[in-house]
C-alpha cells in the first residue's frame, strides 16, 4: 500500500487527531492515502464516524502496541 502522507498525532487527544487529519486531507488529491498514527484509544471510533460524515474511505485500522493506525483514502 502506497501512503501519500503520514501524520503523527501521538500524544494528542480527541478531537485533535481528527482535526489534523481533516486539515491534511484538504489539499490531497482524490484517491491519495493518508496514514494517521495516534495514541488516543477513542480515535478508532472517531475515525469511523469521520469517514461516514465526510465520505472519505477508511481503508484500514489497526493497533500496534500503544499506537492506533488509521489509513484513509481521500474522496
The CA distances from residue 51 to 25, 65, 66, in Å, are 12, 24, 22
Active-site residue (options: 5, 7, 12, 14): 14
Distance separating alpha carbons of residues 38 and 34, to the nearest angstrom: 13
Element (H, E) at 9: strand 5-9
Catalytic residue check, 14: yes
Number of neighbouring beta carbons within 10 Å of residue 60: 13
Kindly list the catalytic residues: 14
Amino acid at each position: 500500500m502506497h501512503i501519500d502522507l503520514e501524520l503523527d498525532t501521538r500524544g494528542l487527544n480527541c478531537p485533535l487527531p481528527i482535526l489534523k487529519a481533516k486539515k491534511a486531507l484538504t489539499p490531497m488529491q482524490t484517491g491519495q492515502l493518508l496514514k494517521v498514527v495516534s495514541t488516543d484509544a477513542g480515535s478508532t471510533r472517531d475515525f469511523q464516524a469521520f469517514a461516514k460524515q465526510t465520505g472519505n474511505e477508511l481503508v484500514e485500522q489497526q493497533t500496534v502496541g500503544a499506537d492506533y493506525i488509521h489509513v484513509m483514502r481521500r474522496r
